[in-house]
Chains A and B, each alone.
Chain A
Amino acid sequence: MARRSNISKQTRTALLALLERPQDWCYGYELMEWTGLASGTLYPMLIRLCDQGNLEARWVPSPHEGRPARHAYRLTPSGLALARTIKADEVPHANLGKGFAL
């Protein structure tokens, strides 16, 4: 069973946002828009989720010529299980897309 103790509200929000598109690779700025989390909160969380094996990351070439490749993220099977556990408990309380906060 996925470990879900000591998960912050922000991490739950990010996991639920990623669960909305479980097969798609999401970009950092997209996640910031969906969750309302600032980069200073979101990226350390993504790093931690990757370390725990709940998130995978890869470089995706930009479709626009001359623009750099982007780092994209997707939940791993264990991350999906964790996010589903959280969703089962907390969907009524989820609050996505509130806007930015530093």
Chain B
Amino acid sequence: MTRRRETNVQRLVALAFKIAPPERRSWFEAMAAELDHVPKAARMHFAVGCLLAACRQRLGSSQFLQTAASNVLIVGAMLWAALNIRFAGRMSVSDALILEAYGYCTALLFLIGAVVTARLGNRATISLIAPLILVLTATAAFIRIGSAPTPTSHLYLALIVENLAVLLLALIVAGAAARFATVRKGLN
């Protein structure tokens, strides 16, 4: 084995150690120690395996998934808030006061959601989204059943259904992350 190849093997093992979740580092110390007892011809193969194992452990760690889910929710909520501010801005030009207020309120709620998710995590997001879905569903039902079908009522209904779809998507992401964390806790 050339010196360069040996250096690459060491680099791969060091990279695996860095990628591995902190609670699993001792296992990657074990792999690094074992490398010294692996025949030189098989070391590259062994080191690649270490790297794959580290990636699998990292991707499967509940901390990583929780963080990834939180980031998706935060970015998604901020993006949706921005789109609603844009919508409210357009409505202000056409003097549609209710729609303008609806756009700004939605944007504010999603910004609050992003802050809550960032500070308190995915479970807090679920507690925030669930009652909001109920309120929006009740409002949609009221508009659909209780008011005459006009173009304006259809527009309100469409906006509410749009927000409901986004909230349901966020609920699925937050719920899946929380459920996965519970399952992992049970396994460990």
Interface of A toward B, CB cutoff 8 Å: 27-29, 32, 38-44, 46-47, 51-52, 57, 59, 62, 67-71, 100, 102
Contact = CB atoms under 8 A, between A and B. Distances in A.
Contacts of A46: 27
A42 B45 CA distance: 13
Contacts of A59: 30
B148 to A, nearest CB: 57
A7 B111 CA distance: 45
Interface stretch (B47-55, B90-98, B118-126, B139-147): B47-55
Given A28-B30, A29-B46, 19 more contacts: A27-B37, A38-B45, A39-B53, A40-B48, A40-B50, A40-B53, A40-B56, A43-B49, A44-B56, A47-B24, A47-B27, A57-B30, A69-B33, A70-B30, A71-B27, A71-B30, A71-B34, A100-B45, A102-B48
Interface in B78-129: none
B57 A47 contact: yes
Contacts, number: 65
Contact-residue size bin, chain B (C-beta under 8 Å from the other chain): 20 to 34
Contact of B49 (A41, A52, A69, A71): A41
Given A40-B48, A43-B50, A100-B42, A67 B30 contact: no
A29 B33 CA distance: 11
Nearest to A100: B45
A102 B187 CA distance: 27
Contacts of B57: 44, 47
A102 B49 contact: yes
A29 B56 contact: no
Contacts of B51: 40
A43 B31 contact: yes
A27 B34 contact: yes
Contact of B31 (A39, A57, A62): A39
Given A44-B53, A51-B188, A68 B24 contact: no
A91 B36 CA distance: 33
A68 B53 contact: no
B114 to A, nearest CB: 35
Contact of A67 (B37, B52, B56): B37
A2 to B, nearest CB: 16
